[in-house]
Structure 1
Amino acid sequence: MDRATFACSTAFFRDYSSSSQGAFCLPGGHVDFIEKVESFTYSDFFRDYLIPNHPCIFSAKFTEDWGSRRNWVTWDGKPNFDHLLQKFGEAVVPVANCDVKEYNSNPKEQLPFKEYVKYWKEYIKNDYRSSRGCLYLKDWHLSRAFPEQDVYTTPVYFSSDWLNEYWDAIAVDDYRFVYMGPKGSWTPFHADVFRSYSWSANICGRKKWLLYPAGQEEYLKDRHGNLPFDVTAPSLQDRSVYPRYNQSQPPVEIVQEAGEIVFIPSGWHHQVYNLEDTISINHNWVNGCNVAIMWCFLQDELAAVQREINEWKDPMDDWHLQCQLIMKSCTGIDYKEFYNFLKVIAENRISVLENGLDDEALAKNTPKAAISTLGMLHAVFDLKRTVKVLTSLSANEDFKKLDLTSLSPPPEALLHHLKAAIDTALL
């Protein structure tokens, strides 16, 4: 991060409100296409897309050196089933049925990858029809299962990735996925986990995206407050069911070609179609630009849980703890883990600022090496955003009602260390 970008980000977030997320991009508006690798810098992306929460498309030039672009695709742009079977045939993968709606999503099953490829070939042969329905391989943690494979390199623009930095550190999960599906497979209307950013690279095939800037989803809810499963369904025209639909704006529509990367802003709901047989690589990620959006989302999720079980508040001694447990089961994180998430992010940056890295450490593919590569000012920016959110978390009444004795260091001590590290770095 250069000094001009640091100054820009500092000024923006000084006056920032998470309620303004995405308000700078008009629905149905133009989406920038980034053509040239050599003339587009990290600071360009940070300033023009991350901070204002704007979508954009990166050209196929940004992925042309990936192993998956060379090896997973045939000469005519189709999935290279033979190569994929050779590398991953015995893996067990998650597969969704796009033709079935279950609890406002598609039901999933676990299948051997070789069985899924067999189905896919038959589906193509039968003119994209099957008694089994349209099956879509989704949310496959391929990078975690096959770390030695030469599949792709995360572009530098997406390298400030707090989600995967944290979940890699605790060795529990990650938010790196592979999707593979036939023409006609699709993903219903949703926003990404924790209201994170996402990037999605097409290895082969084409996708159509329908994007709704943050806040537009409020107009798409039915009279009970539920979001639609399919935003193209004719039933949305029924004002007795969807009373505010006529106030919504048309979606931002993107057709993504092979090799291209789409950047999806934080908190934007979307629906996605595979227009051809398609393979894509996707990451969800959070950083200093949208961690406040994540924190607002968690507060909203807890409030929803509290409303749902409010009748048990008086008779249940550990009601606040139960709310946290339910929230974690539904969302994947609770307030104490969110504190630990912020702590890991903060301590990694403090370590780099206070101790630096030698050449050997810089050469390794580690979070601290990535932090160092992005520069001292980026680490300071990250710490300043962490201070902002951690201060809000520490003052939160629901957080203070929890048993915080297990948190090490205590929030007050971590905040003090953060502020001292920032002051020292800016001397």
Structure 2
Amino acid sequence: MCVEVKQGGGTCMLELDGRTLTFEKFRECCLEPNVPAVIRCAVPECETGSKEGFVSCLERMTSRLAPMSLIDAYGEGHHVPTVEFMTGTTSDSDQFECMECRMRPLGEVMECWRRKDGVLYLKDWHMQLECESQGRATERTSVEKKAVIDGYHCIVHGDGLYQVPEYLGHDWMDDFCRCLGGGDANYCHFGDTESDYRFAYIGPPSSWTPLHFDVFGTYSWSLNVCGEKLWFFPSPEGNQRLLETSLYGLMLPVDIRTTTGAELCAVLQRPGDLVFVPSGYLHQVHNVSGPRFLLPPKNILRPDDLANPKKAKVLDNDDTGSVSLVISINHNWCNEWCVERMVKAFCRDANRLQRLLTEEDRVLLFGEDCTAWHKHVENLLIGGTNWNFACIRSFLKHRLACLSIQNDGKGAEVGLRRLLKKCLAEVDAVELRITHTCGS
């Protein structure tokens, strides 16, 4: 089933049924045209024994990501990324909301939720990677090893937490990151830290994510484990207009609802629903409602309590010992249908940097030392945009290497190889113009 979600007389996004969805249908409806969608019933509530879709269920995922389970698994001193929403007042009595991003211990996060003196959002947490690292450290890797041996599509994420449904297709980003995680020194990862683009989001109602588009021109998907989210998308025409008028993200409004004349589509995401966000597509997400979870007892997070979370639950069972939460997991991912958009996004970042650099800067800083100038440009790019020429070239060459290993002479792979080489040529041309013009 494929239903068009219409708002304001036009089609804003698609509604698909995860119980019957195939990769061919998803590719035709979403990947190739770059159209957003909500996939209903992407995950069953309870175990079904079926090998289709997510090899998991909402019940098990909710249990693993509940506050008591997180404290049990990681301890109260484990640091996680958070955003705190704070409301202030200007001199003319207008209210405003600001956001503070910082790492906090899990125990502090739980205490903030208990006190309810602000809105604290645990977001952009590389939970899956940390689960897998913890599993390897304790030799609990049988699920992951079997999955990798059985084939790429069977990778199980988060130390047995879930498997991505096959109808979403290949994930070149995760494949590349796993290669880097294996210690391959021939490639440069994205960003300046560990390369991973899988996340967990855990926050109370009223926490939200401002208007943005995803990193590197990738796709993203977001699965609601529990609770409800409200998503806002502009129309396709409005999306392009907002990107252009904001200089592709430099001057985006925080809240799309304040944008004059914006055509919006609002979609409610329920537990088990998966939202697909296309490459370069703006979106804004609000946590609306969620079930209540018990919090660890106040000031009683002793080691013996952590070893027995059921015992800890009964120590503090009133309303101050629980919190309403919305929990979701998210992947940024890419494949052959968005790789050209990724390269275009990178070239736009590189060209923007070029406009800020002058020949006088180069001569003053480095004279005729082209190598030092090239390194300087690469450092500026990675520091400002989280990727540079070495990153994007590594990503494209890694994919070409994968094709060489899988080479079976099929026409589709020949065309894909041609596409990747074209992308590499575009990157090379921009790099030559920006960094290799010393003395010209």
TM score, norm. by length of structure 2: 0.68
Contact 2:347 2:427 in 1 (8 A): no
Contact 2:221 2:277 in 1 (8 A): yes
Q: Quote the residue 1:333 is aligned against.
A: 387
Shift in CA distance, 219/337, structure 1 to aligned 2, threshold 3 Å: closer
Q: Quote the residue 1:371 is aligned against.
A: none
Say whether residues 1:324 and 2:378 are aligned partners.
Answer: yes
Say whether residues 1:344 and 2:398 are aligned partners.
Answer: yes
One-letter amino acid of the counterpart of residue 385, structure 1: L
Deviation, 1:159, is: 4.0
CA deviations over 1:285-310 (Å, ceiling 9, x no partner)? 12111111111111111122222233
One-letter amino acid of the counterpart of residue 298, structure 1: F
Say whether residues 1:264 and 2:277 are aligned partners.
Answer: yes
Say whether residues 1:95 and 2:117 are aligned partners.
Answer: no
Deviation, 1:188, is: 1.1
Supply the distance in 2 between the matched residues of 1:302 and 1:27 (Cα, whole angstroms).
38
Deviation, 1:221, is: 3.4
CA deviations over 1:22-43 (Å, ceiling 9, x no partner)? xxx9996242222252x32111
Q: Quote the residue 2:349 is aligned against.
A: 301
Q: Quote the residue 1:167 is aligned against.
A: 177
Contact 2:26 2:168 in 1 (8 A): no
CA deviations over 1:65-117 (Å, ceiling 9, x no partner)? 5546223437xxx974333332344432111113379xx98332212223313
Say whether residues 1:288 and 2:336 are aligned partners.
Answer: yes
Q: Quote the residue 1:398 is aligned against.
A: 432
> Identity of counterpart residues, as a percentage?
28
CA deviations over 1:289-342 (Å, ceiling 9, x no partner)? 111111111111112222223362443335454232211111111112211111
Contact 2:211 2:255 in 1 (8 A): yes
Q: Quote the residue 2:206 is aligned against.
A: 184
Contact 1:335 1:399 in 2 (8 A): no
Shift in CA distance, 312/63, structure 1 to aligned 2, threshold 3 Å: farther
Q: Quote the residue 2:311 is aligned against.
A: none
Supply the distance in 2 between the matched residues of 1:309 and 1:400 (Cα, whole angstroms).
9
CA deviations over 1:366-399 (Å, ceiling 9, x no partner)? xxxxxxxxxx676555434312212322333536
Say whether residues 1:70 and 2:59 are aligned partners.
Answer: yes
Contact 2:15 2:40 in 1 (8 A): yes
Q: Quote the residue 1:221 is aligned against.
A: 246
Shift in CA distance, 278/402, structure 1 to aligned 2, threshold 3 Å: farther
Contact 1:162 1:286 in 2 (8 A): yes
Q: Quote the residue 1:274 is aligned against.
A: 287
TM score, norm. by length of structure 1: 0.69
Secondary structure (helix, strand or coil) at the match of 1:160 reads coil
Supply the distance in 2 between the matched residues of 1:270 and 1:27 (Cα, whole angstroms).
20
Supply the distance in 1 between the matched residues of 2:406 and 2:124 (Cα, whole angstroms).
33
Q: Quote the residue 1:254 is aligned against.
A: 267
One-letter amino acid of the counterpart of residue 145, structure 1: E
Q: Quote the residue 1:408 is aligned against.
A: none
Bigger mean CA offset, 309-318 vs 257-266:
309-318
Supply the distance in 2 between the matched residues of 1:397 and 1:146 (Cα, whole angstroms).
38
Which of 19, 22, 25 does residue 44 from structure 1 map onto? 25
Contact 2:86 2:98 in 1 (8 A): no
Shift in CA distance, 225/135, structure 1 to aligned 2, threshold 3 Å: closer
Supply the distance in 1 between the matched residues of 2:44 and 2:418 (Cα, whole angstroms).
33
Bigger mean CA offset, 330-339 vs 303-312:
303-312
Supply the distance in 2 between the matched residues of 1:273 and 1:112 (Cα, whole angstroms).
24
Q: Quote the residue 1:200 is aligned against.
A: 222
Shift in CA distance, 27/326, structure 1 to aligned 2, threshold 3 Å: farther
Deviation, 1:265, is: 0.5
Secondary structure (helix, strand or coil) at the match of 2:99 reads coil
Q: How does 1:53-68 map to 2 (within 5 A)?
A: 53-64=34-45, 65=47, 67=56
Contact 1:50 1:265 in 2 (8 A): yes
Contact 1:28 1:250 in 2 (8 A): no
Q: Quote the residue 1:34 is aligned against.
A: 16
Say whether residues 1:312 and 2:361 are aligned partners.
Answer: yes
Deviation, 1:266, is: 0.5
Q: Quote the residue 2:68 is aligned against.
A: 82
Supply the distance in 2 between the matched residues of 1:342 and 1:69 (Cα, whole angstroms).
35
What 5-or-longer segments of structure 1 have no aligned partner? 1-24, 124-129, 237-244, 356-375, 404-427
Q: Quote the residue 1:157 is aligned against.
A: 167
Shift in CA distance, 195/351, structure 1 to aligned 2, threshold 3 Å: same
Shift in CA distance, 36/194, structure 1 to aligned 2, threshold 3 Å: closer
Structural RMSD (CA): 3.1
Which of 126, 135, 138 does residue 141 from structure 1 map onto? 126
Q: Quote the residue 1:366 is aligned against.
A: none
Secondary structure (helix, strand or coil) at the match of 1:52 reads coil
Secondary structure (helix, strand or coil) at the match of 1:120 reads helix
Secondary structure (helix, strand or coil) at the match of 1:255 reads strand
Supply the distance in 2 between the matched residues of 1:204 and 1:387 (Cα, whole angstroms).
43
Contact 1:58 1:261 in 2 (8 A): yes
Shift in CA distance, 338/114, structure 1 to aligned 2, threshold 3 Å: same
Contact 1:55 1:263 in 2 (8 A): yes
Deviation, 1:57, is: 1.2
Supply the distance in 2 between the matched residues of 1:341 and 1:280 (Cα, whole angstroms).
27
Contact 2:389 2:431 in 1 (8 A): no
Q: Quote the residue 2:293 is aligned against.
A: none
Supply the distance in 1 between the matched residues of 2:275 and 2:250 (Cα, whole angstroms).
29
Instruction: Work out the number of aligned pairs and report it.
Output: 332
